[in-house]
Amino acid sequence: MILHADMDAFYASVEQRDDPSLRGRPVAVGFGGKRGVVAAASYEARKFGVRSAMPSSTAKRLCSEIVFKRCRMPVYAEISAHVREIFYRYTPLIEPLSLDEAYLDVTGSLRLFGSAAAIAERIRREIYDELNLPCSVGGGAGKLVAKIASKKAKPDGLLIVQSEGTLAFLRPLRVSEIWGVGRVTEEKLLSMGIVTIGALADRRSDEIERELGSWGPLLQGLARGEDLRRVEGDRSRKSYGEENTFNDDVSEREVIEGMVIAHAETVARRLRANATCGRTVTLKYRPSTRNDSFRLVTRSRTLPVPTDDGPTVSKTAMALWDAEVDPPPIRLVGVQISGLDRDKPLQLSLFGESDDSGESGRGGEDRDRRRALNAALDDIVERFGSSAIKRGRSE
Amino acid sequence: MNIQLDREILLTVLGRSQGVVDKRQPMAILTNVLLTAVTGELKIIATDLEVSLEQACPAKVKDAGQVAVSARKLFEIVRESSSDKITLKALDNKGLEVSYGRSDFKLLGIDPADHPGMPDSTAGAKNTEIISLPVAELSEMIRKTVFAVSTDDTRSNLAGVYLDKTDKGNGVRMVATDGHRLAVIERKLSSGAIGGGVILPRKGVSELAKLLVDQDGDVTITLTGSEAIATVGDCTISMRLVEGTFPDYKQVVPKDSPKVVTAERDELLQSLRRVSILSSERARGVKFTIKSGLVTVSANNPDIGEASEELVADYSGDDLEIGFNARYVIDVLGVLPEHARVELCLNDQMSPGVVRGDDRDYRYVVMPMRI
């Protein structure tokens, strides 16, 4: 049995919680200025048609009394960590999808706590009691059903679909409810006369495959309630990443470097928290050119030795940036590390792990100092939060 | 230009140029060789701007002149020839006509004035050092170190061999490392002395090694601060020095290794080749279990299987288990003399080991793997 827990209008709810004057009013979190984007909208704002990812100017046009609040990422991250703590009381199998939603596999916890509904209700209650925030939970035999159920349960609700009811639940829904079915796929299915998940399930599989390719059988399986995707806890993840969108086009190297350093530190800290290292550093960015705005550019480099060190990651990412010929102004920049290696590097180094500079001949000593520094940083962040200390640049 | 030359000589010279010209094509001109016919000889220049090679070969010159044509195509044309003599004639359109026997080729060319030629070695040179040493010795030094040069282009300061002065005497030391193993060799200079250390690029050194084949006498190397220019016979190779600081290699060469295992080089090499068949693809780890008089080399790959082999060795210290990348040990055994004994000088599982033969001026340091 899998639960999908999703905080209701997460950022907006936090703002309304912390500022009572906002309760009951339409609130958008994001940057209200020109070219700003809505990151989250309260339910009051959604009534006017305001949605996340919408340009702020559109939101203001739809709802003139909307209140804009700046994003307070560190606060949301802290609350998210607390929510995750609550999840961990019920199962170790947690797959966070973002700060505000996660899958939980509670199959093994049912005997301890009774039913999925009982667990879901306790989670909702504890989040409300401890954080004063609403959370909706859906449950089902697979991820797909759980996710759709949580959406149906919103706001502040609970919906568990029992295994035997899976097909009855799925069949009448539109195919677009399946995660991953976007406009293009939906149009293809519509052109085949397929509107509902039930119709997709009943169609001959070779027809579906002809139209959708190798994805067809997978999709049809989901429609038939065959959802074997496992909840992938932190232990089986493939990469760690962090990114941000700028309010304005950015082309100054210093600004980009500042964000890259911050992202690299966050990613490296998460690697260390999970006692893992990564080999491949990926820099991604989105050029601001208007007609090109959906193109995400990624550049990767594989390090000789896996690392969990922030400066090593940021230096590599910036080297990738500097290697770009004529880089465009950008709207988004992100750092990702993959090629995860839980085992410590097997091959020992003569000069220390990430001694690219070669300037220190005492590589081993340098590495030990870096480890000690990272451990101290992690301690401070653990106790005082991630905004307590930041990596600076030295010229 | 209208010249005739000997096929064998031309083929050798063009063959050496192949390694130097730029195979990627950011600038088409760098895929060309510059041919200059002067009295009695043809000069051939190839460059990728990092490494430049100038060679001369005797020719019967009817008309002097200059052309720049595809290095690859000219080489292939000469290689496939069955005649002893080749005729090269410049065409009006900057092209080159190559003819032999009943064959005739017309190659398109590029304006020779656009070819960069050899770098001006005198420009900006302040503290020029000139050293020379026997061809055979330089060839050996390169052969025994170049395989340890890093192939990781994120560590540019390791992407070459380091030329350094010796602690005493008029010697030269060559060092190469990829961060996991390090090879260092010392030889005496015939003349001159070297000041500070310089890093010679991997490509330049590899091409230089090719020039040394079948040559006698001394090689002269001129260091200008930004370039190294080596002259041997009729060939001059110039390479831009790698910028960056070479790591402090002296620190990592163990001064004292209490545990010395002596084994037959050929036996150990063959054992490692066999056992490493079952080591993992990437890490190539093998375990050395060392007991009095006996070394067991073993590999274990959970996906494939395991292998082990025993060999007799001189050793009388405490038992020791240590892991190494088999590749790293095989590499050095490959350049050590055959039918001789080698020493494995070890300390503990986490400390660098040294592999050496009778020649105490050649040492190879290798970091263990965790096992």
pLDDT tops 60 at residue B257? yes
Nearest residue in B to A323, CA atom: B154
Chain A contact set for B157 (CB, 8 A): 357-358
Asked if A350 lies within 8 A of B158 by C-beta distance, the reply is no
Domain CATH code at residue A33: 3.40.1170.60
**Closest Cα in chain A, distance from residue B366 (Å):** 8
Q: Residue A108 falls within a domain, yes or no? A: no
Residue A307: pLDDT band (50, 70, 90) is: confident
Chain B contact set for A361 (CB, 8 A): 247-248, 250-252
**B71 & B21 share domain:** yes
**Among A63, A78, A53, residue whose Cα is nearest residue A27:** A63
**B180 & B246 share domain:** yes
**B265 & B246 share domain:** no
**A176 & A208 share domain:** yes
Residues 271 through 330 of chain B touching chain A, CB cutoff 8 Å:
283, 285, 323, 325
**B87 & B196 share domain:** no
Q: Residue B122 falls within a domain, yes or no? A: no
C-alpha distances (whole Å) from A80 to each of A5, A51, A363, B23 are 12, 21, 38, 53
**Closest Cα in chain A, distance from residue B181 (Å):** 7
**A275 & A327 share domain:** yes
Interchain CB contact of B52 with A (< 8 Å): no
User: B192: alpha, beta or left, given left = phi > 0 and alpha = psi -120 to 50?
Assistant: left
Q: Residue B119 falls within a domain, yes or no? A: no
**A309 & A206 share domain:** no
Q: What is the dihedral of CA A90, A91, A97, A98, to 10 degrees?
A: 50
Interchain CB contact of B352 with A (< 8 Å): yes
**Digit-coded pLDDT (tens) for A173-224:** 999 998 778 888 888 899 999 999 999 999 998 888 888 877 788 889 899 9
**Digit-coded pLDDT (tens) for A92-117:** 888 888 788 999 999 988 988 989 99
Question: Pick from A344, A347, A355: which is nearest to B283 by CB?
Answer: A347
Mean pLDDT value across chain B = 92
Domain CATH code at residue B197: 3.10.150.10
Residues 321 through 340 of chain B touching chain A, CB cutoff 8 Å:
323, 325
Q: Residue B287 falls within a domain, yes or no? A: yes
Structure tokens belonging to residue A119? 């667990």
Q: Residue B307 falls within a domain, yes or no? A: yes
> What is the pLDDT at residue A374?
80
**Residue from A95, A101, A242, A265 carrying the catalytic annotation:** A101
Interchain CB contact of B353 with A (< 8 Å): no
Q: Residue B123 falls within a domain, yes or no? A: no
**A191 & A283 share domain:** no
Three-state SS annotation for chain A: CEEEEEECCHHHHHHHHHCHHHCCCCEEEECCCCCCEEEEECHHHHCCCCCCCCEHHHHHHHCCCCEEECCCHHHHHHHHHHHHHHHHCCCCCEEEEECCEEEEECHHHHHHHCCHHHHHHHHHHHHHHHHCCCEEEEEECCHHHHHHHHHHHCCCCEEECCHHHHHHHHCCCEHHHCCCCCHHHHHHHHHCCCCEHHHHHHCCHHHHHHHHCCHHHHHHHHHCCCCCCCCCCHHHCCEEEEEEEEEEEECCHHHHHHHHHHHHHHHHHHHHHCCCEEEEEEEEEEECCHHHCCCCEEEEEEEEEEECCHHHHHHHHHHHHHCCCCCCCEEEEEEEEEEEECCCCCECCCCCCCCCCCCCCCHHHHHHHHHHHHHHHHHHHHHHCCCCCCCCCCC
What range defines the domain where residue A352 resides? 239-388
How many domains does one find in chain A?
Answer: 3
Interchain CB contact of B348 with A (< 8 Å): no
Nearest residue in B to A349, CA atom: B180
Asked if B365 lies within 8 A of A350 by C-beta distance, the reply is yes
For residues B157-165, average pLDDT = 94
**B10 & B109 share domain:** yes
**A277 & A378 share domain:** yes
pLDDT tops 90 at residue B270? yes
Q: Residue A121 falls within a domain, yes or no? A: no
Residues 135 through 174 of chain B touching chain A, CB cutoff 8 Å:
150, 152, 154-155, 157-158
More confident residue, A238 or A66: A66
Known catalytic residue at A164: no
**Digit-coded pLDDT (tens) for B44-94:** 999 999 999 999 999 999 999 999 999 999 999 999 999 999 999 999 999
**B219 & B293 share domain:** no
**Per this entry, what is the length of chain B?**
371
**A189 & A313 share domain:** no
**B210 & B135 share domain:** yes
pTM greater than the 0.90 cutoff: no
Last residue of a domain, one of A198, A223, A248: A223
**A248 & A215 share domain:** no
Chain B contact set for A317 (CB, 8 A): none
